[in-house]
Amino acid sequence: MLRSLFRFRSLRSRLLGIVLAVGAVVGVSLPAAPEAAAASLTQITSFGTNPSNLLMYLYVPNNVKPNPPILLALHGCQGTGPYLYSSTDFGKLADQYGFIVIYPSTNPSGSCWDVSSNQALTRNGGSDPVGLMSMITYTEQHYGGNPNAVYVTGESSGGMMTDVMLADYPDVFKAGAAFMGVPYHCFYTGTVRGWNGACAGGQVIMSPQQWGDLVRNDAYPGYTGPRPRVQLWHGTADTTLNYNNLGEEVKQWTNVLGVSQTPSSSDVPVTNWNRTRYNDSSGTTQVEAYSIAGAGHQLPIQGTAMAAYAIHFMGLDGSGSTGGNTVTVTNPGNQTAASGTPINALQIHATDSASGQTLTYSATGLPPGLAISSSGLITGTPTSGGSFSTTVRATDPTGATGSTTFTWTVSGATTGSTGALRAVGAGKCLDDPNSTATLGTQQQIYSCNGQANQTWTHDSSKELTVTVGGSTLCLDANGQGTTNGTKAVIWSCNGQVNQQWNLNSNGTITGVQSGLCLDVTGAGTANGALVELWSCNGGSNQQWSLG
């Protein structure tokens, strides 16, 4: 199991999707519309039959469409609906495209979804799926939700439940996207919220026919209607829900949907994202699988394109489902530049399938110092070296969007810097106590002495590392914490976003995941004062200098 997860969750509860930076950019037609002012997450009570006393939270964007699509978004163990809302990008995408998102919570709070009992694995059998269906029906009746445009997604235990809901209610859902899930029925124990260690460990292996028969014979016996399309995601280094489960899911859903287990196509839309598609005879993708190289139990990743890829697959961005315009962005090829030297202006070009459309351009992943105009002209002077995966999008007035991705390699000084990390308010240095290599040790400030346990490096991956006892360790927001008082500790470097830090021009250091400031507790100035995360407040105990 991932060692970092042992800090805050038991074996049964390590299914909460957490955050890892994997280089996220967009490689298909994905959103670029300006975000509307965020609406509020609202709790709904008395929404109908609810045998397991689930909680319902609803997100209705301010620009909600008439007869809007509905997305059911399911958290992982130790999660809640509000947590999933705040830690993923589905709400922001709803703002852009006007669909409604249901964010349920299990009861008791933080428990896993029931994907193991006979009740849950049978249509209308009881337990969590019945309550989830009540939420969907309520949203259709009270918010005008479109019963012909209902979708489901989830992470970890929620990914498992995504597979269950698609199996139990194939007539309700048009498509689904399961992040880090397991096949329907794989987690069966016969008990409510049971734990199936063999399935979690990737040891439940069946033929495609056997997996498919479980869906056909157990979930909704006798159903012969259309089945929802399925998108599947898993990290190759997942030791919580073994990566083998991705292959078993692919077997199950390709069999259920009647397509070959041999991929129709394979590509790498983003570095380390290996995608396979399984199409029907008409060329429509029925099953799509993403194998994320090196990723652990960590998907989807907020701030990346993963949620947008899921939305695109389901058609919630209007792609492929309305016969709308198609925008194609021409890839300019990989680019080079030098830090401190102005680039030659780069014009990005795109075409629209409809004539007379004015395209508006935007970009993510540009090297620092560069910017793109609304007409697609990239200008500026790079301020730091490194390799940057850049995605440029073009959007027409109907909302149709196209994108392309390329690499920008900038030579010269990188964002990295090495030296003492000085707490301005105390005049002391960030210090690994007694040069310990014990994982989870909270960091402190101490009189600056130039020793290795006070020598920190900020690299191009935004990690802050210290080398002690022959080990290079990362500054880490303990337990993926995003609340005031989260300890700043050392931990084995793992690429997760709670180990990424922004060194800001105002002297603050903020956690990429939490947005909180690195803070000397209580504005202490004495040797041994501990360091934590806290809301940024402009205090000198949140001011740092490196080098």
d(CA 162, CA 238): 18
Query: With contact defined as beta carbons under 8 Å apart, do 12 and 30 qualify?
Result: no
Q: What is the 3-state secondary structure (H, E, C) of 43-107?
A: EECCCCCCCCCCEEEEECCCCCCCCCCEEEEECCCCCCHHHHHHHCCHHHHHHHHCCEEEEEECC
Q: Which two tokens stand for residue 204?
A: 């439940």
With tokens 């934590």, the residue in question is 532
- Look at residues 3, 17, 2, 23 and name the one whose alpha carbon lies nearest to residue 461: 23
Length of the chain: 547
Q: Classify the phi-psi angles of 514: left when phi > 0, otherwise alpha if psi is within -120 to 50, otherwise beta.
A: alpha
User: Using a CB cutoff of 8 Å and minimum separation of 24, what contacts does 256-265 make?
Assistant: 256/167, 256/211, 256/212, 256/215, 256/216, 256/227, 257/227, 257/229, 257/230, 257/286, 257/287, 258/286, 259/286, 259/287, 261/208
Residue 370 CB neighbour total at 10 angstroms: 22
Query: Angle at the Cα of 10 (from 481 to 58), degrees rounded to 5?
Result: 55
Report yes or no: 309 and 316 within 8 Å, Cβ to Cβ: no
CA distance 84 to 73: 8
Residue showing tokens 């029907």: 280
DSSP state of 498: G
- 13, 156, 319, 362: the catalytic one is 156
Our answer to whether residue 156 is catalytic in this structure is yes
Residue type, 209: Q
CA distance 46 to 343: 59
Considering only CA atoms, which of 121, 7, 104 is closest in space to residue 486? 7
Q: What is the DSSP string of 415-478?
A: S-EEEEEEETTTTEEEE-GGG---TTPBPEEE-----GGGEEEE-TT--EEEEETTEEEEEEEG
Helix (H) / strand (E) containing 387: strand 386-395
Residues designated catalytic: 156
